[in-house]
Amino acid sequence: MSAVPQTPADAPPEGEPATAPATRARSSARSLALALLAGAAGAGLALLASGRIWAKGSAELAQGALPRSVTGADVTGVPGALAVVGLAALVAVFAVRRVGRIAVAALLTLSGAGIAVAAVLGNSDTSALREKAATAVGLTDAGVHHVTHTGWPWVAAAGGGLLLLAGLLALVYGRHWPAMSGRYERTPGGARGPRRAPAPPDLDRPEEIWKSLDRGEDPTR
């Protein structure tokens, strides 16, 4: 009579591969690395593009044309500001847990979307260029001619897209990512932990004995 093979008690359920936990760990590590890379690169691109020239034109004077140009910060301050917010949110994702992590990930996502939208709208905006032309000419209704746009608004939009990707990864996979150690978080009483126990007094030093007595401690205990 042949023996019936026994199934180990700790065997994985039928249909679930034995390597499922390892696969989930690798997927979590990949998503974490991709989010960090995308978020840092996106914020860097948005900040870089904000300081570059987005549009050029010329104001017409009696003596001829006066060239004018505007940077991304002149056109709109939204990409640069949201890039800083997004970078801070990317770091804060690892400082919070549960609902806080979801909220910060949502902020990261919205920052990326806001950068992309502001950059696309700023690509066709000539109000800042007209304002510079009016300042140069001295007329409030001065026009600007021969307007050309650079590719930097699209670089800022790409940066916003990368931040958006980082935020979506944090929303989907963030619950599996590690968090900062809670070793030094505040205790419910408001004190920071852990607290070190006071060192025992040196019985060979009378001043240490008196200090222990003043604190209401028994130095011989």
Tens digit of pLDDT for each residue in 6-20?
A: 444 445 555 545 566
In the chain, % of residues over pLDDT 90:
38
The whole-number pLDDT of residue 190 equals: 47
Structure tokens at 181: 């150690």
Cis peptide before 194 (omega within 30 of 0): yes
pTM metric for this prediction: 0.68
Instruction: Report the amino acid identity of residue 71.
Output: T
The whole-number pLDDT of residue 26 equals: 78
More confident residue, 21 or 170: 170
Count other C-beta atoms under 10 Å from residue 146's C-beta: 10
- In terms of C-beta density within 10 A (0-12 exposed, 13-18 middle, 19 or more buried), how is residue 71 classed? middle
Residue-wise pLDDT for 108-130, tens only, equals 999 999 999 999 999 988 888 88
Structure tokens at 42: 């996106």
Write the CA distances from 183 to 16, 18, 186, 194, integer angstroms: 36, 33, 9, 7
More confident residue, 55 or 185: 55
